[in-house]
Structure 1
Amino acid sequence: MMSNKVIHRNVPSDGKPVEYHILGLEDSEFFDSLVSFFKKYYDAEITTNTDGISTRSWQLRSRGEYFMLEHHEDIGNWFYSCEPSGDSQLMSEIASDLEERLKDTPYEY
């Protein structure tokens, strides 16, 4: 199925953080591209990183805010804020930016 939507905003009902999933670009190589994107356009710093066999979990900091970028081979790539509210203006801005930059990227899900 073809789609023109790149970011899916998942709002959990259990009070967990809002997750921004990047649709159609789920491979682990795209994770590295996302890290480069965060560094280049949001001056993000990597504060911690954990890489496993099928998962990656990195904490980054941009504009004084900590956020997570995660990958799981069965789920794909997603990011979310570490703010107590579970979401932030920065996460919305990044999601909109990625949506605009990747909207013409062909992919299937």
Structure 2
Amino acid sequence: EVEVELGEIEVRQTFKASRIGVIAGCYVTQGTVTRNARVRLYRGGKEIYDGPIDSLKRFNDEVKEVREGFECGIVLQRFRDIEQGDIMRPYVIEERERTLS
């Protein structure tokens, strides 16, 4: 297994939603974020969350990916402590076949 970083996301706003929890209003500053990615959430340079994305939206539509330069809404799985200014770094874990050298 190999971890592949996908980019960087800046949290610009947060919204509370009764049934959902906290929606992070984000801007993708580098790369791409995908629906099946996991994210590490950083505040003040310290990692405070590492886990899956529960929801990835553009406006009101659930989407598979959001590219650099676009805004999106992200809900993290079972985690609500998100603040403006937090940084998310999405990544995926890829299976790599071992080769004999």
Give the structure with higher Rg (CA).
Answer: 2
**Please, what TM-score do these two structures have when normalized by structure 1?**
0.33
More helix by share: 1
Q: Which has the higher contact order (CA 8 A, sep 6+)?
A: 2
More strand by share: 2
**Please, what TM-score do these two structures have when normalized by structure 2?**
0.35
